[in-house]
A and B are shown apart, each in its own frame.
Chain A
Amino acid sequence: EIVMTQSPATLSVSPGERATLSCRASQSVSANLAWYQQKPGQAPRLLMYGAASRATGVPDRFSGSGSGTQFTLTISSLQPEDSAVYFCQQYNDWPPLTFGGGTKVEIK
């Protein structure tokens, strides 16, 4: 099973500043990596797939990068509505599909 590790657990960023979230895979997942945003009481929402492709309707302040075992989600200019928990998920080698433990982004 591929283990996904996210860091930091919590990130506090001022509005307009850049937020950088990391996700590490225990073995290579190529670019088969997705990012999700989840707000309280809601289902996760797909942000990125293929490590760097934005899903439909996702603002271009969100960008993804990386391949192999190291991935980054960047929010270029944090907005108040970006306060949420962000998860990564690998779909390169499954079953099982595996998710990271999440990074909580707080607005400072």
Chain B
Amino acid sequence: EVQLLESGGGLVQPGGSLRLSCVASGFTFSTYAMSWVRQAPGRGPEWVSGISGNIVSTYYADSVKGRFTISRDNSKNTLYLQMNSLRADDTAVYYCAKPDWGYAFDMWGQGTMVTVSS
């Protein structure tokens, strides 16, 4: 069964850091690009960052560039998102997502909640 399982969310103060993880199973992880997508309460999804399967290329939304870092360990089938200098508007459910058919996301994790508040 294809599965993505995120962890690492929680409550953090403004200016703080968190590291999200996403463990993949059921497919050949290293052959797929992966992304992080977030969704603030009551809002549409917002793409945050993506990384190629071979780790050569990384991409970021302007809203997180310079603060977030995406990485992956293909030996552990794991995707990461290091989030620094967190702000209140980073509060959202963070999903890892697997793209296919171009860059439509055919698989999503269950999400992990990140709350940035003092």
- In the assembled complex, the Cα of A101 lies from the Cα of B40 at a distance in Å of 12
B95, B106, B109, B110: residue with the most chain A Cβ atoms closer than 10 Å: B106
Q: A34, A43, A53, A95: which contacts B111 (Cβ < 8 A)?
A: A43
Question: Within 8 Å of chain B (Cβ to Cβ): is A66?
Answer: no
Chain A count of residues within 8 A CB distance of the other chain? 24
Question: Within 8 Å of chain B (Cβ to Cβ): is A13?
Answer: no
- In the assembled complex, the Cα of A43 lies from the Cα of B46 at a distance in Å of 13
A43 in contact with B110 given A95-B59, A96-B61, A98-B47 (CB within 8 Å): yes
Pick the interface stretch among A14-22, A44-52, A67-75, A76-84.
Answer: A44-52
* B111 and chain A: residue at smallest CB distance: A43
Question: Within 8 Å of chain A (Cβ to Cβ): is B43?
Answer: yes
User: Could you say which residues of chain B place their CB within 8 Å of the CB of A50?
Assistant: 101-102, 104
Question: Within 8 Å of chain A (Cβ to Cβ): is B105?
Answer: yes
Interface of B is mostly: strand
Shortest CB-to-CB span from B100 to chain A, Å, is 8
- In the assembled complex, the Cα of A53 lies from the Cα of B105 at a distance in Å of 14
* Contact call B95/A99, Cβ cutoff below 8 A: no
User: Could you say which residues of chain B place their CB within 8 Å of the CB of A55?
Assistant: 101, 104, 106
* Contact call B108/A44, Cβ cutoff below 8 A: yes
Question: Within 8 Å of chain A (Cβ to Cβ): is B35?
Answer: yes
The 8 A CB mask of B39-55 against A (1 = contact, 0 = none) is 00001111100100000
11 more contacts with CB within 8 A, not counting A44-B108, A91-B103, A99-B44, are: A34-B101, A43-B111, A44-B95, A44-B105, A50-B102, A89-B104, A95-B59, A96-B47, A97-B35, A97-B50, A97-B103
> A residues engaging B (CB < 8 A)?
32, 34, 36, 43-46, 49-50, 53, 55-56, 87, 89, 91, 94-102
> B residues engaging A (CB < 8 A)?
35, 43-47, 50, 59-62, 95, 99-106, 108-111
